[in-house]
Amino acid sequence: MNPKVKLGAVAMLAAAAMTTTSIVSATSATAAPANTAARTITAEAPGFTKPTPQGQKNAIALAGKAIAAQEKSLAKSEDDVFTLEKATSVGGAQYLAYNRTYKGLPVYGGGVVVATDGAGLTVSTLETAQKTELNLDVKPSLSARKAANKARTLVAKVESVTTPKLVVHALAETGAPRLAWEVVVSGSSKTAPSVQHVYVDALNGSILSNWDAVKMGTGNGFYNGQVTIATTPSYTMRDNTRSGLACGGQGGTPYTKSTDSWGNGQGTNLETACVDAYWAAQKEWDMLKDWFNYNGFNGRGGGFPARVGLNQVNAFWNGSYTNFGHNQANTQQATPMDVVGHEYGHAIYQFAGSGGGGGGGNEDGGLNESTGDIFGALLEHYANNPNDPGDYTVGEEVNLVGQGPIRYMYKPSTNGDPDCYSSRIPNTEVHAAAGPQNHWFYLLAEGTNPGGGKPASPVCAGPSSLTGIGIQKAGQIYLASLQLRTTSSLTHARARSATLAAAKQQFPNSCTEFNAVKAAWTAVSVPAVSGEATCTIQNPNDFSIAVNPATVSVQAGASGSATVNTAVTAGSAQNVALTATGAPAGTTVSFSPASVTAGQSSSVSIATSASTPTGNYTITVNGAGSSVSHSTTFKLSVTGQPGQDDFSVSVNPASATVNAGGSTSATLSTAVTSGNAQNVALSASGAPSGVTVSFSPASVTAGGSSTVNISASSSVPAGNYTITLTGTGASAAHGTSFALTVSSDPGGTTWQEWKQYNAGDVVTYNGASYRCLQSHTSLPGWEPPNVPALWQAI
């Protein structure tokens, strides 16, 4: 049996987006060049409609109502508060994750996930891991210092310890809820890095639970051939179009050079290794967007950097970045597609749903390792690179330890791993414990006898013959199921239940996918779960709706037209009533006829008035049927009347990143586009609470410019915000958008307790500056004036 080789992971929010980009050619292998930039994806096209902005608003409003209506099933106490943490989408479904606090303290295990349809009109799932209403004293008996010392015992070589944070530990599987200190200890064991998240009982000092952010896996060292990668002039291996992606050496700094040509195609060359890792990470990002409507590796547009040159037969994800070593023969770096896909798969797993983290225990660890293998296979199939065609083996080309593939997803027992689930899995080594879910995924995607050169796959229970639904649909269901996580740990029983619920959410008008998910779990001996979803088609009649042309252009005061086309997509035709929303002031939208039978068309008339503001608008056409409703959009472009005074507005730069408590500025410019110059009053909207926007001057004559000053208070939550800057004149009004990113990085140099400082770091304390003399983790009472051995006044 091949030995299991560890690979790990870490997660970090994106770096500030840059305004310039360079697409470059890079050689990463001696294999024949492949024009991967012009690749053709042969898998099935996505079968979903992305949620609209209105659908997203509907979902947030509906989720709040659902939580209020289900307080009893959520075990809500009068001291509980739910706060929306993130809203993500997979396919056509939306997933809203809420954090719970109790008397102001975060509740670990108390998160809630609400799943809705794309329109935000129907709740399909409401999940939480907390089963007991909280009634606790939140005053700890154990000090933070003692909790930190207890947590340190789980890491052999400690490098840093975070400030202990008081929380309520409410995971149902660990017993009654307890007050706890949450501590993160970074360092290493004798053989691998470790980032332990430890929960210490705040009353008696026992360890309630812990999990390690460093996750291990295996992969291959295959090279991708001649590829194109996005870099930043001049020239840095950092992606300014996919936030947070970068690649460099062990110091964490992205590679930089004077030319935009990277790598020499040699297996031992580290720059070449970065080409492989960086290109594969970009393709995985694109796959998540193109195949699953998923935004970045954390679902919110965030990515993470990669490092190469690790002097180990290993690769890992540590919660903040991926790190890649080399094969045992040291003839090539471990940066092939399936290794990269595997490690970034750990990042996807860590940030999905409201559970967070990587979980603890071998069963969860096996599911986490399987997640990496699944995303490695998905990436290979999406990338469609002839140097490494998509398959379901892990490590098939790198020969990592001289014994061929590490795992076989279609038949794990080929390499001595279990094909199916049993009571032994929770005590099985995590890489071997990946076997049952890997086997399930292959059966779901390909079936038992897929043909076309793909291997046959056995079953352990149930029917002997299964038909697959395709790897893209299988991946869509699995990614959606991860969004339903409400606890840091996952079991095969929960995975079965979540994937069945996800299949219903992703394919609401079909039971084919649902039944395939169920049959595949049965085939790997994961039994039915009490209360799991069932599938019946309630409304077999369905239709589609579209508008042609997609853009209608008119002058203010004039009219335009388009055609609404409907078609029966399932069952029988039904009556469809047509309405429209989103028209600008002074504009009417009418239909002739106002209702049609599915399969018929209607004419849309758009009538503007002389007072209709010029600009571009999105109009939504709604079709309400007797069994289902659908909507579509078209663009309306309104131009000024001939000779009318008009102007344009623009802002430069159009985006910026600030730390909470910081500020930035930009220049808003105006230009006369027709007629005479007019006075333009400037205003802003859409700024989040705590962000102020001012103009200097507050109004200009068209053709002039103004400085936009944007300040973020220290209380502004980290996130991405769109601020609309509007110029209002006597005859027209126009707006432009400014993208503001508020970072969670405090960005300052003020000395803090429980923070890792390195020699040379400069801090301020009570207005004075000090330089760090020795690397250390600061403790209470260790402020610079009191410890001259550690700090030097400057």
Which of 229-238, 337-346, 745-754 is predicted with the least confidence, judged by mean pLDDT? 745-754
Max mean pLDDT range (394-408, 466-480, 542-556, 648-662)? 466-480
What pLDDT digit, counting tens, does each position of 288-309 carry? 999 999 999 999 899 999 999 9
Average pLDDT over residues 100-116: 90
Digit-coded pLDDT (tens) for 510-558: 899 999 999 999 999 999 988 899 998 766 788 899 999 988 988 888 8
Q: Whole-prediction pTM value? A: 0.59
What is the percent of the chain where pLDDT is above 90?
Answer: 47
pLDDT tier at 355, thresholds 50, 70, 90: low
Q: Where is average pLDDT lowest: 473-477, 599-603, 636-640?
A: 636-640
What are the tens digits of pLDDT across the range 645-659?
Answer: 888 999 998 888 777
Give the mean model confidence (pLDDT) for residues 98-103.
Answer: 92
| Band of pLDDT at residue 461, cut at 50, 70 and 90 | very high
Residue type, 590: S
* 3-class SS string, 600-636: EEEEEEEECCCCCCCEEEEEEEEEEECCCEEEEEEEE
Q: CA of 80: how far to CAs of 99, 125, 132, 487, in Å?
A: 10, 21, 12, 18
Sign of CA dihedral 310, 312, 315, 316: negative
Please say if the pLDDT value at position 772 is more than 90.
no
Long-range contacts of 773-779 (CB under 8 A, 24+ apart): 777/160, 777/161, 778/751, 778/752, 778/753, 778/754, 779/145, 779/753, 779/754
Amino acid 465: pLDDT: 96
Residue pLDDT, tens place only, 31-44: 333 333 222 222 33
Task: Tell me the mean pLDDT in the region 477-490.
Answer: 85
Q: Worst-scoring range by mean pLDDT, 444-448, 484-488, 603-607? A: 484-488
Q: Which residue has the higher pLDDT, 129 or 447?
A: 447
DSSP structure string for 45-103: PP---PPPHHHHHHHHHHHHHHHHHTTTTTT--TTEEEEEEEEEEETTEEEEEEEEEET
Residue 44 is predicted with a pLDDT of 38
55 phi/psi in degrees, rounded to 5: -60, -35
pLDDT tens digits, one per residue of 52-89: 888 888 989 888 888 888 888 888 999 999 999 889 99
**What pLDDT does 475 receive?**
96
The whole-number pLDDT of residue 48 equals 64
- Residue 28, pLDDT score: 38
The pLDDT assigned to 781 comes to 82
Percent of the residues in the chain that have a pLDDT greater than 70, as a whole number: 89
What pLDDT was estimated at residue 460? 95
Beta strand 762-765 with 791-793 is unpaired
Higher pLDDT, 129 or 45: 129
User: What is the residue-averaged pLDDT of the chain?
Assistant: 84
Q: What is the predicted pLDDT for the residue at 23?
A: 17
Residue 539 pLDDT: 62
Provide mean pLDDT across the span 621-639. 89
Band of the pLDDT at 377, cuts 50, 70, 90? very high
Instruction: pLDDT band for 362, please (50, 70, 90 cuts).
Output: confident
The reported pLDDT for the residue numbered 3 is 34
Q: What is the pLDDT of residue 2?
A: 32
Query: What's the pLDDT at 513?
Result: 96
**Beta strands, E only, 443-558:** 542-548, 551-555
Q: What is the pLDDT of residues 585-620, one digit of tens each?
A: 899 999 999 999 999 999 999 999 988 888 889 999
